[in-house]
Amino acid sequence: MFRFTVTSQDSHTQARLGMLNTSHGTVATPAFMPVATQGTVKATSPRELREIGTEIILANAYHLYLRPGAGLIEQFGGLHRFMGWDGPILTDSGGYQVFSLKELCKVTEEGVRFRSHLDGSAHFLTPETVVHTQEQLGVDIAMVLDECVAAPSQYDAAARASDRTTRWAERAQAVRSREDQALFAIVQGGVFPDLREQSARELIALDFPGYAVGGLSVGEGPEVTLTVARHTVRFLPYARPRYLMGVGLPEQLVRYVALGFDMFDCVLPTRNARNGTLFTRKGRMNIRRAEYATDQRPLDEECACYTCQHFSRAYLRHLAVAGEMLSARLNTLHNLAFYQWLMRSMREALAAGRFADFARPFLLTVEPTTHSTTEENAWQS
């Protein structure tokens, strides 16, 4: 049921076009997945997501396990029916949440004992129960339970977590039962090149249908993230989808597509929207600034989203300053539309054999004060 095909390869970078086939439809790659942690992309309806070109979303098995419960969602026919989204869904396993809520949990070889951040109740996650939860949810792509370490971390700690992630992946693979659900492995290893290579090689030997690179954007600087991702992607199979987890500024997406990654997720477009930070073809802007109080122009004059077609910067600033709910709605819609435009533009450039012609001017425009010769070379290395 699940299939991934590389349909085109850029001649100057490692960027490639691909197609993911799932039980709930196809996804053109490279693709950005809006984050629907609780079974909803904040401030946005499934219909609006479709209208701006979204083909796949990401939900979180950890949060849905706690509330409202995977069993209840299963009774409603699965997460697709429960949330009214008929396209593909990928669920993160909860490994990152374990990392981010580490004061509430204890990691052992068997699994993770933790207390709910909602009510303090005790729970126990294992690689097997995480697979079972995602099978109850009925999603198209499930992630194995992994162990993530913070940056900076000691080499020994990163090695132990990476080794355990491999053992957990093997256990998860052994119990999967749904043929209509693909289970992806997650490469760990901290910021250490040899651990990243070892993790990738061990997981590839287990023959998963897709591979993610996790454990980045957890405290290390962006240049370190880029270096580790560039090193790791070289060991991932060409014919399998490559998913870079939790990384997602627009300029980063361009660079990571150039390195050969196919799938991305990040909360930045929705979280920033609620804080008044908006992404445009000319860079980021804070709509709360006084300079926009009388600005009659649309947010982004080249954008075709509902927000840009119907409202002025002055009105958007007014909503943000007044704390109106519509501010979050309109800002989120625009930011997500911008991200889908960016991914679509990269796919179109790749199809036309002009990826570099799109990437270079885009990077120069969105980050004119930080761009350098080193950074220019980084996206095409």
Which sequence positions are flagged as catalytic?
92, 265
Q: How far is CA 282 from CA 12, 363, 364, in A?
A: 25, 10, 9
Q: Which of 51, 27, 29 is nearest to 41 (CA)?
A: 51
SS3 (DSSP) at 378:
helix
Whether 253 and 265 have beta carbons less than 8 Å apart is answered as: no
CA distance from start to end of the chain: 34
Whether 30 and 262 have beta carbons less than 8 Å apart is answered as: yes
Neighbours of 115 (CB within 10 A): 15
Q: How would you list the strands of the sheet with 3-9, edge to edge?
A: 3-9, 16-22, 25-29
Kindly tell me the sign of the dihedral angle through the C-alpha atoms of 52, 55, 60, 65.
positive
* Pair of tokens at residue 151: 């940056």
Q: Exposed, middle or buried, 71 (CB in 10 Å: 0-12/13-18/19+)?
A: exposed
Whether 245 and 210 have beta carbons less than 8 Å apart is answered as: no
Spatial distance between the Cα atoms of 270 and 267, rounded to a whole number of angstroms:
6
Contacts of 110 (CB under 8 A, 6+ apart): 126
* Pair of tokens at residue 360: 């270079």
